[in-house]
Amino acid sequence: MFERFEVLQNADMRQYTTLKLGGTADWLAFPRSAAEIAELFAEAGAAGLPVSVIGHGSNLLVLDGGIRGLVIRIDKNMKNIRREGNRLTAAAGAMLGAVAGFAAENGLTGLEFASGIPGTVGGAVTMNAGAYGGEMKDVVVRVDGILPDGTEMSLSGEEMRFGYRRSAVKDLNLIVTEVTMELAEGDPAAIRAKMSELNRQRAEKQPLDVPSAGSTFKRPEGFYAAALIDQCGLKGYSVGGAQVSMKHAGFLVNSGDSSRDYLELVRTVQRIVRERAGVELEPEIRIIGEEV
């Protein structure tokens, strides 16, 4: 099965997420094009296998029981970036930092905020990733993708219905394959300087030296998740190898090998913040797979 594609069997998902957690995926595919994605869906469908689609795995918790069926990972084989005037078009697997760097090299400003976000362009538009006052909705003018049945679809920036950490991608069950961004001309040195300053601030405030999935919770309306968690006295709180970062309470970091511990920590933080602050924290991370 899947002989025509780059595929691994019984793939250890710890190698494919920034949390370094998770069981094995029955099949893990690395498509080279939108056409291959459609073919993978068709072949999996014919075999009665469920299909999951992921990017770089920087916002993902895979449970210890692993993932049944086929996982399609859109990353290393779909990362081309091209320029047409002030527009950049990036394949969905291109890392956001690489696209921001390409923009800087070409004297295009508007993506500085994204230079330190450790995800793919496809993942970034799916969740309208943002930082330091910028969001993907500010620059995206077109998103191309396919539906699981192979139907091609293109959406304008308006049709993406961007909101806080959301877009129309999930509602439509769209698999993003390419993203076009409208930027503006700028001074390459000034762009680089801004990117360096934002990355300095990020390294100063965030635990970038340990496995994490970035900010674990969405920002509740009227509050900041990290501040709520800190106010509840949870900095440093741990379950097994999972811990609320001492550096930034919005980051739940991992030094162990148990997704169960991490998931229990997520739920414990939610419960305590609900009980003590009366605020419901919604996970920003995506959780997939089976518990043991």
The yes-or-no verdict on residue 110 having pLDDT over 90 is yes
Give yes or no: 290 in active site.
Answer: no
Give yes or no: 165 in active site.
Answer: yes
* The token pair that represents 199 in the structure block: 């990355």
pLDDT band at 44 (very low <50, low <70, confident <90, very high): very high
pLDDT of residue 292: 86
Structure-token match 């086929």, residue found: 70
Interval 248-289: pLDDT, tens: 999 999 999 999 999 999 999 999 999 999 999 999 999 999
Q: What percent of the chain has pLDDT above 90?
A: 98
Interval 188-240: pLDDT, tens: 999 999 999 999 999 999 999 999 999 999 999 999 999 999 999 999 999 99
Is 129 in contact with 100 (CB distance < 8 Å)? Answer: no
Among 52, 58, 115, 215, the one annotated catalytic: 215
pLDDT of residue 1: 86
Domains of the chain by residue range: 7-73, 81-203, 207-288
pLDDT of residue 105: 95
CATH of the domain spanning 7-73, picked from 3.30.300.130, 3.30.70.2190, 3.40.50.150, 3.30.43.10 = 3.30.43.10
Mean residue pLDDT of the chain comes to 96
Interval 128-174: pLDDT, tens: 999 989 999 999 999 999 999 999 999 999 999 999 999 999 999 99
pLDDT of residue 169: 96
Residue 271: strand, helix, or coil = helix
pLDDT band at 5 (very low <50, low <70, confident <90, very high): very high
The yes-or-no verdict on residue 9 having pLDDT over 90 is yes
The yes-or-no verdict on residue 88 having pLDDT over 90 is yes
**Spacing of C-alpha 79 from chain mean position:** 15
The yes-or-no verdict on residue 83 having pLDDT over 90 is yes
Among 115, 259, 284, 286, the one annotated catalytic: 284
Is 62 in contact with 13 (CB distance < 8 Å)? Answer: yes
pLDDT band at 99 (very low <50, low <70, confident <90, very high): very high
pLDDT band at 56 (very low <50, low <70, confident <90, very high): very high
**Spacing of C-alpha 162 from chain mean position:** 15
Among 165, 166, 192, 274, the one annotated catalytic: 165
Nearest-10 Cα torsion for 109, 112, 117, 118: 60
Element of type H or E holding 88: strand 87-91
Is 110 in contact with 194 (CB distance < 8 Å)? Answer: no
Give yes or no: 284 in active site.
Answer: yes
| Main-chain dihedrals φ then ψ at residue 282, nearest 5 degrees | -105, 125
Distance CA 253, CA 240 (A): 11
Distance CA 268, CA 262 (A): 10
Q: Which fold has domain 207-288?
A: 3.90.78
For the domain bounded by 81-203, which CATH number is listed?
3.30.465.10
Burial of 291 by CB count in 10 Å (0-12 exposed, 13-18 middle, 19+ buried)?
Answer: exposed
Cβ-Cβ contacts under 8 Å for 193 (sequence gap 6 or more): none
